[in-house]
Amino acid sequence: MDRMLSAIDHEGNSIIHLAAHQESPPSTPPGVLEMMWEVLWFKRVQYDSYPYLWHLQNSDGKTAKQVFETNHASLREKAEETVRALANTVLIVSVLIATINFAAIFTVPGGFDQTTGEAIFLKNRRWEFSLLMFYLAGGLFSSLFTMGTLLVIIFLRFETEDFYVSLPCYYVINIISIFYSAVLAIVACCQALIVQKVVITDFRPLVVLFFIYGLMALVLMETSYVIFDYAYHLIRYCLCYRGQES
């Protein structure tokens, strides 16, 4: 293994140069996830190699990083377009959810007491009404948090290093935050029906929360398991990395 890591071919290419040419397996989804796996594989080979090979130039006068940038320029541009389009779409959804929750907080069911200014249901249905406010506030906060992280993604420079750690982290954070904002908005709607006694149920409101939470979790895992798989391998490689001495 040490001989393979330190070997240089007749064109001056090290194992890091060869990793820069390596393509993702056919099972890797195209686009941004493919670019993430490409960067992860290149970084793994680079960190397992000797540090003096990191800046070694081949017969064309290029380092391994320069070869990687050249071979993945089109893929990086395609991934950037995909991420920006997805971020703009999710941003619209998060703005809509935030707007609905913000409006619902100030137009509470039952209205307000004209004398004291307090919500009417706050007197005789305090527990149910407090849960409704909690769900609305949680959905609003999650939506605003999603909007902030999405703006960070939109203004990224989308360099190669961004696809290694920062972009996957923002990706996972956005998935979780938009998931919670959607779940809390749906649960707040159900809780509003319970407060107004439109829905008569003997179950506690938390049962509705857990049911909707489980349903949304299944949808989330079905559509986003690939990015969580990438995060798992990234953390695993970072923890297991020992590196090579100079």
Asked whether residue 224 is domain-assigned, the answer is: yes
User: Does residue 193 fall inside a structural domain?
Assistant: yes
Q: How many CA atoms lie within 13 A of 51 on its CB side?
A: 5
pLDDT mean across residues, the chain: 79
Residue 19 lies in a domain: no
137 inside domain: yes
CA distance 30 to 32: 7
Q: Which domain holds residue 213?
A: 74-243
Distance from C-alpha of 22 to C-alpha of 12, rounded to nearest angstrom: 17
Mean pLDDT of 169-184: 86
User: In whole angstroms, what is the distance from residue 186 CA to residue 179 CA?
Assistant: 11
31 found inside a domain: no
Residue 30 is assigned to a structural domain of this protein: no
Kindly state whether residue 41 falls inside one of the protein's structural domains: no
Q: Tell whether 165 is covered by a domain.
A: yes
Tell me: pLDDT of 141 over 90.
yes
Average pLDDT, stretch 133-147? 90
pLDDT tens digits, 3-12 = 777 788 888 8
What domain count does the chain have? 1
Q: Is the pLDDT of residue 67 over 70?
A: yes
